[in-house]
């Protein structure tokens, strides 16, 4: 039976302060903030290093824009991610962009999957994290599922593996994960202290939250409902076992 995530146990950031090296893996520029921006801000307040790996280039948010062709949009989205992460306390040199094509991040069995795994593995090995945040493997977006596959492939041979916490952006059509699917376990992190900071960071992704790009009628935009579902006093994390 599905469990309402609003009933999951609540933990504070002190639950995570024993970790020494943290990596956040984001399928697209903005997922790092929407998924675990509160955790990032709280960890940085306690001077715990956080590295962020952004897997795709984010250029399919506005594929028909003439003012922002793919190369220009990629630069915009990377700049927005850097600005958002600065608000959360992460320095520019702690952010790595892999620039895989948006909506075409290689999945298990596909061409370039092992190359993506090698690329990610090098980045992870250089940091040796003991805590990794990553997208939920069943998130309803192909790049999120592919990103989980890539990270999982990297970490499955680590002895011991780092702790892995999964966040959901697209567990529901309106964003977020209102119910925990059967078989999953999770908890909520109290981020009330930095909720406003997370919202400010999310709004730094102007191409996704405003009409900055207004020449693509089918372009993506985070609605107020989506943002409210993803930004609250709590962040939900699923445990990987």
Is 239 a residue whose pLDDT tops 80?
yes
Backbone angles phi, psi at 4, to 5 degrees: -65, 125
> What is the pLDDT averaged over residues 235-239?
96
- Residue 146, CA distances (Å) to 40, 92, 118, 184, 208 in order: 23, 25, 14, 19, 22
Q: Which fold has domain 3-239?
A: Rossmann fold (3.40.50)
> What is the pLDDT averaged over residues 123-130?
96
> What is the pLDDT averaged over residues 52-67?
97
Is 208 a residue whose pLDDT tops 90?
yes
pLDDT band for position 173 (50/70/90)? confident
Is 1 a residue whose pLDDT tops 80?
no
* Angstrom distance (rounded) from CA 196 to CA 191: 9
**pLDDT at site 2:** 72
Burial class of residue 30 in the structure, from the number of CB atoms within 10 Å of its CB (0-12 exposed, 13-18 middle, 19+ buried): buried
How many other C-beta atoms can be found within 10 angstroms of the C-beta atom of residue 125? 11
The pTM of this model reads: 0.97
pLDDT band for position 53 (50/70/90)? very high
Is 184 a residue whose pLDDT tops 70?
yes
For helices 195-203 and 31-45, what crossing angle results, to 10°? Answer: 140
Task: Give the full edge-to-edge strand order of the sheet including 10-11.
Answer: 10-11, 186-190, 234-239, 163-167, 131-135, 22-26, 50-56, 95-100
Enumerate the domain spans of the chain. 3-239
* Angstrom distance (rounded) from CA 127 to CA 121: 10
Burial class of residue 205 in the structure, from the number of CB atoms within 10 Å of its CB (0-12 exposed, 13-18 middle, 19+ buried): buried
- Residue 176, CA distances (Å) to 94, 167, 180 in order: 26, 9, 11
* Angstrom distance (rounded) from CA 43 to CA 22: 9
Is 11 a residue whose pLDDT tops 70?
yes
Q: Which residue has the tokens 């994390």?
A: 237
């Amino acid at each position: 039976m599905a469990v309402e995530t609003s009933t999951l146990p609540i933990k504070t950031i002190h639950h995570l302060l024993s970790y020494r090296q943290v990596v956040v893996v984001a399928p697209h520029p903005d997922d790092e903030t929407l998924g675990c921006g509160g955790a990032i801000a709280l960890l940085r307040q306690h001077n715990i290093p956080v590295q962020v790996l952004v897997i795709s280039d984010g250029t399919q948010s506005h594929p028909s824009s003439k003012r922002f062709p793919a190369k220009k949009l990629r630069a915009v989205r990377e700049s927005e991610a850097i600005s958002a992460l600065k608000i959360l306390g992460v320095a520019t040199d702690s952010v790595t962009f892999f620039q895989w094509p948006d909506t075409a991040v290689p999945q298990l069995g596909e061409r370039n999957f092992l190359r993506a795994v090698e690329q990610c593995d090098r980045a992870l090995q250089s940091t040796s994290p003991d805590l990794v945040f990553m997208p939920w493997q069943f998130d309803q977006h192909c790049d999120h599922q592919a990103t989980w596959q890539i990270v999982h492939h990297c970490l499955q041979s680590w002895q011991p593996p780092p702790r892995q916490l999964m966040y959901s952006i697209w567990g529901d059509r309106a964003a977020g994960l209102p119910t925990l699917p059967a078989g999953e376990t999770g908890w909520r992190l109290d981020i009330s202290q930095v909720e406003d900071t997370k919202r400010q960071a999310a709004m730094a992704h102007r191409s996704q939250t405003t009409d900055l790009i207004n020449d693509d009628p089918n372009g993506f935009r985070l609605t107020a409902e989506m943002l409210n579902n993803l930004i609250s006093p709590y962040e939900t994390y699923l445990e990987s076992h």
